[in-house]
Structure formats: C-alpha cells, structure tokens
Amino acid sequence: MERTLVICKPDAVERGLVGEILGRLEARGLRLAAAELRHIDAETAGRHYAEHEGKPFYAALVAFITRSPSLVAVLEGPPETWKLVRSMIGATNPADAPPGTIRGDLALVTTENLVHGSDGPAAAEREIAVFFPALAEGATGAGGPGDLA
Ligand code: ATP
Ligand code: MG
C-alpha cells in the first residue's frame, strides 16, 4: 500500500465540493487513512509549498491556501497511488485538464483549482509529515504507526 496527501483547498470547502472530490477518489477504490478540516496557517503553508518560494505567484498561493479551512486528507491504495490521484485531479491549469478530471469538470482557473495531490512518493512522505506527523513513519508503505486496520 502507498499513501499520498490530498488537500481539498479553501475553494473546494467554500463551494461545498469536498464530498464530490473525496467521493470520486473513494469510488475509484482509494481508502481514507486520515482526514481533517484545518484552517492552514502561513507557517504550515510555507512548509507545504516550500518548493514554490520565490516564484511570482507564491504570495498569492499562500494567501489563497490560508484564507479559509481546507480538508486535508491522506489517501491510500496500490503502488503509484500518488499518480492515480494526480491523473484524477488533472492539469494545474483547469483549461488544460480534460473533462472527467476533477479540475476539468469543476474548476476554471489555476488560482482556484480545488485540490492538491502529492507529485511523487518523496513529496507524499514529506507532505504527510507536515500535516499528519503521527502517520509520517512509513508514510508511503504499509504497517506504519497510523495503520489501524
Ligand atoms: P498542487 O501542488 O496544488 O497540487 P500542482 O502540483 O498541479 O498543484 P504546482 O506547480 O505544484 O501545481 O503549483 C502549486 C499551486 O500553485 C497550483 O495548484 C496553483 O494553485 C498555483 N500556481 C502554479 N502555477 C501558477 C501560476 N503560473 N500562476 C498562478 N498560480 C500558480
Ligand atoms: Mg504541486
């Protein structure tokens, strides 16, 4: 089993689309390992989006992700679960995301693109540690401390 971080961003919570988004991931066969409604603070946003620090859109990105609560979740499934989730989310710019993807069906612009998914196993492990430290050890493998099944 492999785990990945999913964030239903503030626009998703504001628009009442959390059920739709998590429902799609669950219907695909992925399982929720953790989920929490959390108003992300600037410090946590900075850790999560550290790779984007210094980019022109960074300040707006932090302002967006901290403006109201997000639904932060860990999804688990087979190897390459992160890739499954990313393919279901669609391209960063919803205009490039095909119909059938979350962004392609439900979003219009890059700055309000509804959902985050880790972009690889290393990112998944790092990001899960940011939001769910108790799950961090063995985050992308089975049998970690958070595995209550
Ligand atoms: P996320 O990390 O949120 O899942 P992503 O991996 O598809 O999205 P990244 O390149 O990691 O895209 O960018 C992180 C977020 O920063 C994007 O989801 C988007 O909200 C914002 N962003 C990225 N590029 C731009 C841009 N050129 N202009 C404005 N905002 C941007
Ligand atoms: Mg990203």
Best probe residue, ligand 1, of 61, 92, 115, 131 (max atoms within 8 Å of C-beta): 92
Residue nearest to atom 28 of ligand 1 (CA): 57
Is residue 149 over pLDDT 50?
A: no
CB 65 within 8 A of CB 10: yes
Is this model's pTM higher than 0.85 or not? yes
Range of 105's domain?
Answer: 2-135
Is 147 inside a domain boundary?
no
Domain CATH number, residue 15: 3.30.70.141
Question: What is the reported pLDDT for 66?
Answer: 98
Q: What percent of the chain has pLDDT over 90?
A: 91
Is 82 inside a domain boundary?
yes
Is 141 inside a domain boundary?
no
- First-to-final CA distance of the chain: 12
Residues in contact with ligand 1 (CB, 6 Å cut-off)? 52, 57, 61, 92, 110-111, 113, 116-117, 119
Is 145 inside a domain boundary?
no
Question: What is the reported pLDDT for 136?
Answer: 85
Measure the CA–CA gap between 135 and 149, rounded to whole angstroms: 13
For this structure, is 116 an active site residue? yes
Is residue 15 over pLDDT 80?
A: yes
What is the domain count for the chain?
1
Measure the CA–CA gap between 98 and 71, rounded to whole angstroms: 24
Indicate which atom in ligand 1 lies nearest the CA of residue 91: 7
Mean pLDDT of the chain: 94
Is 85 inside a domain boundary?
yes
Is 140 inside a domain boundary?
no
pLDDT digits (tens, 9 = 90+) for 24-73: 999 999 999 999 999 999 999 999 999 999 999 999 999 999 999 999 99
Which listed residue (39, 48, 52, 116) is catalytic?
Answer: 116
